[in-house]
Structure 1
Amino acid sequence: MTDDATLATPTFRLPLIAILRGIGPQETLAHVQALIEEGYDAIEIPLNSPDWARSIGDAVKAFGERAWIGGGTVLTPVDVDALTDLGARFIVTPNTDPLVIAHARRRGLQVVAGFATASEAFAAIAAGAQMLKLFPASTYGTGHVRALRAVLPSLPLFVVGGVSASALSGYLSAGSCGAGIGGELYKPGQPVERTRENARAFRQAYLDTLS
């Protein structure tokens, strides 16, 4: 399944996906608000977080008009349906399962599909993924991104996994459009101000590449 939407420019105004892995419902709104105040408009809560459905539902209700709230580590069509019912707008997968990708597209969600090789990337694109996620980026490095860009169509490619603020510019220069920020942004239980400081550092690192 490929169409014009597959080759679209990044959906997110700031191409940094904030990943709040392990966050609980009691913390979610405060951290999401801090991220939005720092300019982030793509926020992912992975489905292996505690009571993720409540966290995502609360975030959508409070901030769904200001930011894209999505679910990560999405593994099944049932997960897709649950996220759609909660009002999520995008999913992030750890793999290229064509059934999950195609089902998410049918339900009207944006799909950021996890991949490692060119073959996996093309499989995800064929299934309908509009965006790609190279994971773990730190294992493959900037040379891998540059080589992939030589053969992949010009759809958004995010790097995720071990990408520090100081390393971000190298990945952008190699051809990624942005990054997903997980443990470098948020660790369960950390104060909101730490999330804000980390988010600000990554945003500034991205902006510095534009100047």
Structure 2
Amino acid sequence: MSREIIAILRGVQPSDVVAIGQALIDAGIDRIEVPLNSPDPLASIAALADAFGDTALIGAGTVLTAQSVADVHAAGGRLIVSPDCNPSVIEATRAHDMQSFPGVATPSECFTALRHGAHGLKFFPAFLIGPKGLSAIRAVLPEGTRTYAVGGVGPDTFAQWIAAGATGFGIGTGIYTPGLTAAEVADRARTLVEAYDAKMEANGK
């Protein structure tokens, strides 16, 4: 089962990233981003892609420029996540045959992202938009649009977001903070997966 959960490893060290990636995959999370404001992020992305590129979707977060997209592609990444909606980043991502998830918070940003080829939308920061905000925007989006809630989201609010139309989640500090061991990340990941599976099943998804 491929779950619509992206693990955000902000601040991870390249020396730790493969063990943490293995812990996430073993727990059932196979989408991993390393934000570009992490220490030596391209090294971490390359290590993850080399170890798990055939079985997991590996890429970068906090991607702000087309050049960064090219750099992530060269490192073996296949996923580009941004905090904003930048058409040039989306187009560069598509040109490299990678998956694009730009950050959005308004209907205008949502439709701009989709018109330029985004594979899905990252509603960020989710705690400002709220489930009611997502539900209202979701009503006008094309059927089948992938919508990720990111920022202040966790197992205790999964049900509200899924009911509002979220198809997935990006989880940062709820799954990883610098200094956590792979075993600690594994425990957090299993808790998230159990909650996600239960709420998706309850909603018939």
TM range (shorter): over 0.9
2:18 counterpart residue number: 29
How far the C-alpha of 1:169 sits from its partner, in A, is 1.3
2:145 counterpart residue number: 155
Q: Secondary structure at the match of 1:74?
A: coil
How far the C-alpha of 1:140 sits from its partner, in A, is 1.6
Deviation string, structure 1 residues 33-89 (Cα, Å, up to 9, x no partner): 000001111001110000001100011001111101011100111101111111111
1:104 counterpart residue number: 93
How far the C-alpha of 1:127 sits from its partner, in A, is 1.2
User: What CA distance in whole angstroms lies between the structure 2 residues aligned with 1:78 and 1:15?
Assistant: 27
Structure 1 residue identity aligned to 2:37: N
Q: TM-score, normalised by structure 1?
A: 0.92
Structure 2 residue identity aligned to 1:121: C
User: What CA distance in whole angstroms lies between the structure 2 residues aligned with 1:197 and 1:162?
Assistant: 19
Q: TM-score, normalised by structure 2?
A: 0.95
Backbone CA RMSD of aligned residues: 1.0
Q: Secondary structure at the match of 1:187?
A: coil
Deviation string, structure 1 residues 13-40 (Cα, Å, up to 9, x no partner): 2101011011010110110000000111
Following superposition, which runs of at least 4 residues in structure 1 exceed 4 angstroms of deviation? none
Instruction: Note the 1:1-211 alignment, pairs <5 A.
Output: 13-153=2-142, 154-209=144-199, 210-211=201-202
Structure 2 residue identity aligned to 1:107: H
How far the C-alpha of 1:139 sits from its partner, in A, is 1.6
Count of equivalent residues: 200
Deviation string, structure 1 residues 110-140 (Cα, Å, up to 9, x no partner): 1011011111111111111011000011122
Identity value in percent = 42
How far the C-alpha of 1:164 sits from its partner, in A, is 1.5
